[in-house]
Structures are given as structure tokens and as C-alpha cells.
Amino acid sequence: MLLVVSGPSGAGKDSLVDELRRLEPDLAYSVSATTRTPRPGERDGVHYFFISRPEFERMDSEGAFIETREYANNLYGTPKRFVEDALASGRDIVMKPEVNGALAIKRAFPHAVLVFLTAPSEQELAERLERRRTEGPDAISKRLEIAREEARHIGAYEYLVVNDSLAAALVKLHAVLRAERLKTSRLHEKNGSD
């Protein structure tokens, strides 16, 4: 299963997916490639594959990505090989692209499960981005503008999780994963009869 946790920057995708992976160590995590510079503490190959724009463009032209997106002046992409290999070996995968990426993943993998994670309000989203101190005021207002546009796509998602607290959101996301794993339609997929 492909579990896609998406939603606006600042909604808390990173912390929530980290916690889910702690609960579910067998869940494979799809590390994206990006041309953004690493933030303090971010490691190449763990948080992202940090690559140059020419390298990103070369990989893209070779078909290395399932989807790519320019976001706040940087490129992001989901590597195809890892996802295909993990699915072929029967592992569930979690990833956390922005909204257009999630919609593109759904087009490529119609059985993907899309979860929209959002902060309780736009004000709370703004406060979280400010508290995080990873972007300046211009980058924050750009991210908020993108967030407004992203919210228009909620209808394309299977689930909505409002992140009012990490613990509560984790219970909900974990419930989604567990319920999805129990779906009889997934047994049919595994048996190739879907």
C-alpha cells in the first residue's frame, strides 16, 4: 500500500510521519529528491537526496521520478525505483509530498491512500511556520498562499486528519493505516484478481 500523507507546509507532516514510522518500523519511507539546501540537522539520503538543479533535471529527463514539483523556487521529486521495488517486495510505503504531488501519485497508483493533514486554522498554520524558524517572512507568506490553494483539493483525498495535537493525529493516521490493511480489496490486489 502507498500511504500518502499530504497537506500544507506547517501542518505537521514531518513529525507525524516520523511518529508513525516509529510505531510501524516495517513501513518503508520514500525519500524524495530536492534542490533545496539542507536545513540544520537534515541528512542526505535520510531526509532528502539533496541534489543540484542540473542533476535533478537530468534524472527527470531519464524518467527517474514518478512526479516532480517546483515548490517555493525549489524542485522536489519522488524517485520511481524505490517505490516500485518496495511495492514489488510487498512492503507498505509512506510518503509526504505536497498536494499536487499527492494527486500525481494517485494518478500513477490509483490504489494509493491519500490523507490530507491540516492545521486547525490558517492562523495556527502561520504560527507553526513562524515557530519553526526555518523560513523568513517572505517564504512563510508564500507557503501560506500555497496552503490556501492546496485546501481546494481536499475532495480528492480519502481521509482528512486535523492536526490539533500530535498524539491525537497519530492515533487517527494509525487507524487509517490499520483499517486500510484490513480491506478485502487489498487481498484481491495481492492475488492479482483486482
Binding site for ligand 5GP (CB under 6 A): 9, 13, 32, 36, 67, 69, 71, 76-78, 96-98, 100-101
Q: Which residue is nearest to ligand 5GP (CB)?
A: 101
The answer to whether the beta carbons of residues 145 and 131 sit under 8 Å apart is no
- CB nearer to ligand 5GP: give 12 or 101: 101
Of 128, 122, 32, the closest CA to residue 83 belongs to 32
Closest separation in Å from C-beta 39 to ligand 5GP: 8
- CB nearer to ligand 5GP: give 67 or 92: 67
Can you tell me the distance from the alpha carbon of 118 to that of 169, in angstroms, rounded to the nearest whole number?
Answer: 10
- CB nearer to ligand 5GP: give 49 or 186: 49
Burial state string for 55-94 with b = 16 or more CB within 10 A and e = fewer than 16:
ebeebeeeebbbbbbebeeebbbbbbebbeebbeeeebbb
Closest separation in Å from C-beta 36 to ligand 5GP: 5
- CB nearer to ligand 5GP: give 154 or 187: 154
Closest separation in Å from C-beta 9 to ligand 5GP: 4
Can you tell me the distance from the alpha carbon of 2 to that of 22, in angstroms, rounded to the nearest whole number?
Answer: 17
